[in-house]
């Protein structure tokens, strides 16, 4: 007789029948009661700002304002980077905030870059173009879903798969570099198609990336570190298009480079299996 007990897809453990269902019901009731008490305003407003930037980027892309659409995505990355920090610093973290942040990320870093790339370069490619945009948005959604279910299984200072904000940042900075610095109307179309497909696959891969949110800036540092940081900020302000693009490329590529180094002795078939298998690499 086939068991109909609910199965946890992540842990592979069966629940204790009605007890599990009762526990989930109590959890949903608790979350509903928490919502009735209210939500934390400041983190939610910041997340809403990121959501707005993503929505504005889509409108700008549809209207052919690709440069503005790219900057809107960059601004959304800024809001996305500070909303969690403010929530933790003020003790305003909640399940509602986590879910709202994921939905905002899907709009700002999944749908908005996909629409931007399609309208900017991919539309002449027909099915290949819109499938590339769709695959990017789909892999972004899968990346967010996996992140929300693997929080307890992965160290806080590491990500499994390319995070969706840096992936969107690389696409946006490609537009900024092309139109803002090189003064070229469009980047080479075939390179953009390849880039979109590669980023989509990296988001759902097992490649590990460093979590920059957990860099320790609270402890005392040598004085020369301050000078280096100030000079770095100065260079970024002076050459924003080049520097933002270079930073995005370095972050997106450091994961695959480290992964290939760790598996340099493996065969191509073994590398492929480890890259997309459910087991940790």
With 0-12 / 13-18 / 19 or more C-beta atoms within 10 angstroms meaning exposed / middle / buried, residue 113 is buried
Dihedral, 219, 225, 227, 232 alpha carbons, nearest 10 = -110
User: What average pLDDT does the segment 218-225 reach?
Assistant: 73
For the segment 134-193, what is each residue's pLDDT rounded down to a tens digit? 999 999 999 999 888 876 666 677 788 899 999 999 999 999 999 777 777 788 888 999
pLDDT at 106 over 90: yes
For 61, 92, 160, 190, 258, the CA distances from 123, given in Å and listed in that order, are 12, 43, 31, 12, 34
SS3 state of residue 160? strand
Would you say residue 116 lies in a domain?
yes
pLDDT at 15 over 60: no
What pLDDT does 216 receive?
62
User: What average pLDDT does the segment 209-228 reach?
Assistant: 74
Would you say residue 15 lies in a domain?
no
- Is residue 276 within 8 Å of residue 206, measured between CB atoms? yes
Long-range pairs of 4-10 with CB within 8 A, sequence gap ≥ 24: 10/149, 10/150, 10/153
For 259, 274, 275, 278, the CA distances from 262, given in Å and listed in that order, are 5, 12, 12, 18
Q: Which two tokens stand for residue 17?
A: 């029948």
What pLDDT does 89 receive?
76
Closest CA to 117 of 155, 167, 52: 167
Of 196 and 22, the one with more pLDDT = 196
Would you say residue 154 lies in a domain?
yes
pLDDT at 27 over 80: no
SS3 state of residue 209? strand
Of 9 and 111, the one with more pLDDT = 111
Would you say residue 20 lies in a domain?
no
DSSP 58: H
* Rg over CA atoms, the chain: 21
- Is residue 214 within 8 Å of residue 163, measured between CB atoms? no
User: What average pLDDT does the segment 214-231 reach?
Assistant: 75
Domain interval for residue 151: 39-276
What pLDDT does 63 receive?
95
Closest CA to 200 of 87, 267, 122: 122
Residue 242's CATH number: 1.20.120.1760
Would you say residue 24 lies in a domain?
no
d(CA 17, CA 173): 50
What pLDDT does 3 receive?
44
Would you say residue 12 lies in a domain?
no
What pLDDT does 280 receive?
46
What pLDDT does 136 receive?
96
Query: Which range, 154-158, 168-172, 213-217, 274-278, has the best average confidence (pLDDT)?
Result: 168-172
Of 175 and 218, the one with more pLDDT = 175
Would you say residue 9 lies in a domain?
no
For the segment 47-83, what is each residue's pLDDT rounded down to a tens digit? 999 999 999 999 999 999 999 999 999 999 999 988 8
Q: How many domains is the chain built from?
A: 1
The pLDDT mean for the chain works out to 80
Would you say residue 33 lies in a domain?
no
What pLDDT does 153 receive?
64
User: Which of 2-6, 82-86, 218-222, 232-236 is the least confident region?
Assistant: 2-6
pTM listed for this prediction: 0.78
């Amino acid at each position: 007789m086939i068991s109909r007990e609910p199965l946890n897809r992540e842990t592979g453990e069966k629940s204790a029948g009605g007890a599990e269902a009762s526990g989930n019901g109590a959890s949903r009731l608790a979350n509903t009661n928490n919502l009735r008490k209210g939500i934390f305003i400041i983190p939610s407003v910041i997340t809403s700002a990121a959501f707005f930037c993503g929505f504005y980027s889509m409108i700008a892309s549809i209207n052919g304002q690709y440069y503005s659409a790219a900057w809107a995505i960059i601004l959304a990355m800024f809001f996305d980077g500070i909303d969690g920090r403010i929530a933790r610093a003020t003790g305003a973290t909640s399940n509602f905030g986590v879910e709202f942040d994921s939905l905002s990320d899907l709009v700002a870093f999944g749908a908005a870059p996909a629409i931007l790339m399609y309208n900017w370069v991919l539309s002449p490619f027909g099915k290949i173009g819109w499938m590339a945009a769709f695959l990017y948005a789909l892999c972004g959604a899968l990346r967010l879903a996996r992140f929300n279910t693997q929080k307890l299984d992965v160290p806080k200072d590491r990500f499994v798969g390319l995070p969706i904000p840096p992936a969107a940042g690389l696409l946006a900075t490609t537009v900024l570099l092309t139109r803002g610095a090189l003064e070229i109307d469009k980047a080479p179309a075939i390179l953009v198609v390849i880039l979109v497909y590669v980023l989509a696959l990296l988001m759902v891969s097992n490649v590990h990336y460093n979590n920059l949110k957990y860099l320790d800036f609270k402890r005392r540092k040598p004085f020369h570190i301050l000078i280096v940081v100030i000079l770095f900020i100065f260079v970024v302000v002076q050459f924003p298009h080049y520097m933002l693009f270079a930073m995005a490329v370095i972050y997106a590529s450091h994961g695959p480079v480290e992964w290939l180094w760790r598996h340099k002795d493996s065969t191509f078939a073994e590398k492929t299996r480890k890259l997309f298998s459910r087991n940790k690499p």
